[in-house]
Amino acid sequence: MNKNIIRSLEDIFNDPKADELLVIEPKKNIIPINQDVENFKEIQEWIKRHKGREPERTRDVSRIVERQMANRLKNYRSHEDMVELLKPYDELGLLNIKNQKNELKNMIKDEKKEFSSLDDILNDDSVLFNNDRKSINTKLFDTEKFHKIKREQKNKPEKISQRHNMDNFKEYEHLFKQVQAEIASGKRQLRPFKNYEILLHHFYVLKGQLLYIEAVGEKKIVNDKSQRKTDSRLHVIYENGTENNPLLNGLAASMYGSKGKIVTELEVNELTPDETTGYIYVL
């Protein structure tokens, strides 16, 4: 039975074991865990388990953990602040200067990548893993590049028409020289292109170059998400002796976007009575 019955605060202080009771144990220092340090240690353990082989940026879905480690290691090597942070824990020399320079070159190369489709972006995991964790959330929700590519694909002609040298350009060369002279003399005027109107046998100016609509193909219906519209394939001749076959809507869009010009037709009252204005066909 305990003979030292505690009835008051004074009894506590008079108790020979009071010193032991009142001793406050010092708090243990809590070392904060840095996730990047832990990830780096995990990468080193992985390399040790795989006999010195570094993780690869594989596209094999079953090796997604390895791919994440490879991207993290690349990120650590390409940022000086991360190298300084992780250097005390670098047992395998993964952060040496040579590796940093090589990874920096690769990083610059990656930054210059051009994506031509949504599939290219979705198949390139560097969009998510090439930067520190703070920027990952921003990239995950930054869909501007996706929308931009979708817009470009939506407006992309079904067939890109490249210009090539025209074999029989001499048959049309005199027309261009005549129109050029008429523009210079003021008989023809240059007007701003508008209403997306491309007319057969009319002249236009695109990016400072005179062009002639030699033929317009059959109209066809093009289905769009928002509307149904018609389009035609053209035969266009340029003053430099080249030709191509763009879609009418595509050429009109280029004219409008490049602030192209319409070459006006000759006014009837500028012709003299003796000048030929047409032909009479006798059936």
CA 147 to chain centre: 9
Residues 6+ apart with CB under 8 A from 92: 44, 47, 48, 52
Q: Give pLDDT, residue 142.
A: 60
Q: Give pLDDT, residue 278.
A: 43
CA 6 to chain centre: 79
For the stretch 193-201, contacts whose Cβ atoms lie closer than 8 Å and that sit 24 or more positions apart, written own/partner, are 193/252, 193/255, 193/256, 193/259, 193/260, 193/261, 193/262, 194/256, 196/249, 196/252, 196/253, 196/255, 196/256, 197/252, 198/234, 198/248, 198/251, 198/252, 198/255
Q: Give pLDDT, residue 283.
A: 36
Q: Please tell me the pTM assigned to this model.
A: 0.42
Q: Give pLDDT, residue 222.
A: 76
CA distance 153 to 27: 63
Question: Per DSSP, what are the bridge partners of residue 220?
Answer: 231
For the chain, the domains span 35-154, 164-267
Q: Give pLDDT, residue 22.
A: 60
Q: Give pLDDT, residue 71.
A: 92
**Phi (first) and psi of residue 20, to 5 degrees:** -70, -35
- According to DSSP, the β-strands at 203-206 and 261-263 are antiparallel
Residues 6+ apart with CB under 8 A from 251: 198, 206, 234, 236
Instruction: For residue 120, give the amino acid letter.
Output: D
Each residue's pLDDT expressed in tens, for the chain with a length of 283 residues: 555 666 666 666 666 666 665 666 666 666 678 899 999 999 999 999 999 999 998 888 788 899 999 999 999 999 999 999 999 999 999 998 555 555 555 554 554 555 555 455 555 555 544 445 555 555 555 666 666 655 555 555 545 578 999 999 999 999 999 999 999 999 999 999 988 889 999 999 999 999 999 999 998 887 766 667 889 999 999 999 999 999 999 999 999 999 999 999 987 554 444 544 444 434 3
Instruction: For residue 215, give the amino acid letter.
Output: A
CA distance 167 to 171: 10
